[in-house]
Structure 1
Amino acid sequence: MVEGVIGIIVAPIVIFLIFVAPIWLVMHYRSKKQVAQGLSQEEFAALTELANKAEVMAERIQTLEAILDAEAPQWRNRA
């Protein structure tokens, strides 16, 4: 009875240690290496483009808010 329960517990642990753990370790340290290397040229370019678009969008929002403040001063209280 006890041997059956131990077998049920030991079998998944052994399978995990043989198959899953090594793959998990390799993938973990591979991703750590990529993070340590920093951004690639493409990623940096995409990040720069997104930052520029965010700045333009912030300016447009400020302009729209200024127009709304001038034309409908109570617009902020409606929300």
Structure 2
Amino acid sequence: MEEVIIALIICVALPWVILHYITKWKTASTITTDDESLLDELYHLAKRLDARMDTVERLVSTDDPGFRPARLVHDSDEDNDALRELDRLIAEKKGVKQ
């Protein structure tokens, strides 16, 4: 009787436990739809905040000619190329044509 229980554990329970945790491991390492929508929302928020910072820096620079922003330069081609590439990749991922 003990041999049957041991054989049953080895043939059924052990593979089930192994496959269960392999499945858990694979699903935990993927990005869910909620994660993608959160990242998309954060990306758009960052773009809005960047536009607001540009406006604030432009207003401050009109009041104080000696003001030099310590961040990226507004509308420089070097900075905008990376942002355009990121926009293109996001649109490609969503299947939207630009």
Normalized per residue, which structure has more helix?
A: 1
For normalisation by structure 2, the TM-score amounts to 0.41
For normalisation by structure 1, the TM-score amounts to 0.50
